[in-house]
Amino acid sequence: MSSKIFGYARVSSKEQNEERQLNAFKEFGIDERDIYVDKQSGKDFNRDNYLVLKHILRENDLLVIKSIDRLGRNYNMIIEEWKDITQNIKADIVVIDMPLLDTRNNKDLLGTFISDLILQILSYVAEQERTFIKQRQKEGIENALNKGVKFGRPKIEKPANFDNVISQWKKKEIKSKDAMIMLNLKPNTFYNLLKNTKI
Please give the positions annotated as active site.
12
In angstroms, what is the C-alpha Rg of the chain?
27
Please calculate the CA angle 49-122-23 and round it to the nearest 5 degrees.
Answer: 50
DSSP 58: -
Cα–Cα nearest to 3, from 89, 109, 66, 91 = 91
Query: What does the alpha-carbon distance between residue 102 and residue 82 come to, in Å, rounded to a whole number?
Result: 12
Query: How far does Cα 38 stand from its chain's mean position?
Result: 7
Residue positions counted in the chain: 199
Query: Which residue type does 152 have?
Result: G
Q: Which of 197, 156, 163 is nearest to 179 (CA)?
A: 163
The angle at the Cα of 117, spanning 40 to 113, to the nearest 5 degrees, equals 125
Q: Do residues 158 and 197 touch, judged by C-beta distance below 8 A?
A: yes
CA dist., res. 65 & res. 31, Å (int):
14
